[in-house]
Amino acid sequence: LLLPLGAFIAAFAIGLVVWLSRRRLSPLRELQIAVRKREFIVHYQPIVELRTGRCIGAEALVRWRRPDGSLVRPDLFIPLAEESGLIAAITDQVVAHVVLDLNRLLVANRSLHIAVNLSPADVETARILPVIEKALQHTGIRPRQIWLEATERGFVNIDSARSTLIRARELGHAVAIDDFGTGYSSLSHLEGLPLDALKIDKSFIDTIATNSATSSVTPHIIDMAKTLKLKIVAEGVETQAQADYLLERDVDYGQGWLFAKPMPAAEFIAYCRRMKPSA
């Protein structure tokens, strides 16, 4: 009788441990733990000059690497991070990675820049600027090699956003508006902002060389960007037809699967070596 009872108790104990360890934590709790354990890494997607095909840098795109090795896309956790205020700590981890991953590459090649995505809260509080300043200390990276991407969506306080962007440029960074065309970007609203570049949202690039209803909007978006006399980056370029169209319209830079997908730091460094940026 004792033997089966012992086996039963052992099986029960093992079952309990497995159940406890698999019990699902709330998404917020999981994200908090991930932040504490620094589970965020960065992939880099090359940005190329359309006229020459030369790589001018990359966008830093965050990924959450779970303990099982799987990667979670930012769309699935950035909204929760923004709502909960965890985004600030995640942005810090992205900045730390950029410096650690690419210090040598950026010092060896001054023409390269890395664009970091900022959430509206990052832009409104300006807390990130001293964080970047500190991260760049004791590296050879120059402030102008760090671009900051801000979306127009979600600014609660446009005045504090503006003063952060002004300060960022005083420090030497370039500032780009991300997902251009999808927000409330009336020109008047953007004209007051200190900007260097506009990134035209993928949804407009998607319609190029199609006959969809919105394809007629894209040339106007490009013209609008041009009237602001800013550098233009087209995001989500997937086909040669799109690249040809953009080149015809004097769009400066492109980013998309046609050129390269986002990749781990080591691959991006190898990519740059292969491409030998001419400049």
Residues within the interface to Mg ion (CB under 5 A)? 117, 149, 178-179, 199, 201, 235
Minimum CB–partner distance for residue 202 and Mg ion (Å): 5
Best CA proximity match to 117, nearest among 78, 172, 161: 78
H/E element, 43? strand 40-49
State the binding partner of 128 from ligand C2E, Mg ion, none, CB within 5 to 8 A by kind: none
Minimum CB–partner distance for residue 149 and Mg ion (Å): 4
The type of residue at 175 is V
Which CB atom, from 106 or from 115, has the smaller least distance to Mg ion? 115
Which CB atom, from 153 or from 276, has the smaller least distance to Mg ion? 153
State the binding partner of 73 from Mg ion, ligand C2E, none, CB within 5 to 8 A by kind: ligand C2E
The token duo for 239 is 């086909």
Which CB atom, from 39 or from 235, has the smaller least distance to Mg ion? 235
Determine contact, residues 244/50, Cβ cutoff 8 Å: no
Q: For 90-135, give the DSSP string.
A: HHHHHHHHHHHHHHHHHHH-TT-EEEEEE-HHHHHH-THHHHHHHH
Which CB atom, from 110 or from 267, has the smaller least distance to ligand C2E? 267
Minimal CB distance residue for ligand C2E? 256
Residue 71, SS3?
A: strand
The site for ligand C2E (CB under 6 A) is made up of 45, 61-62, 73-75, 78, 87, 91, 94, 117, 119, 178-179, 202, 235-238, 255-257, 262
The token duo for 270 is 């190898």
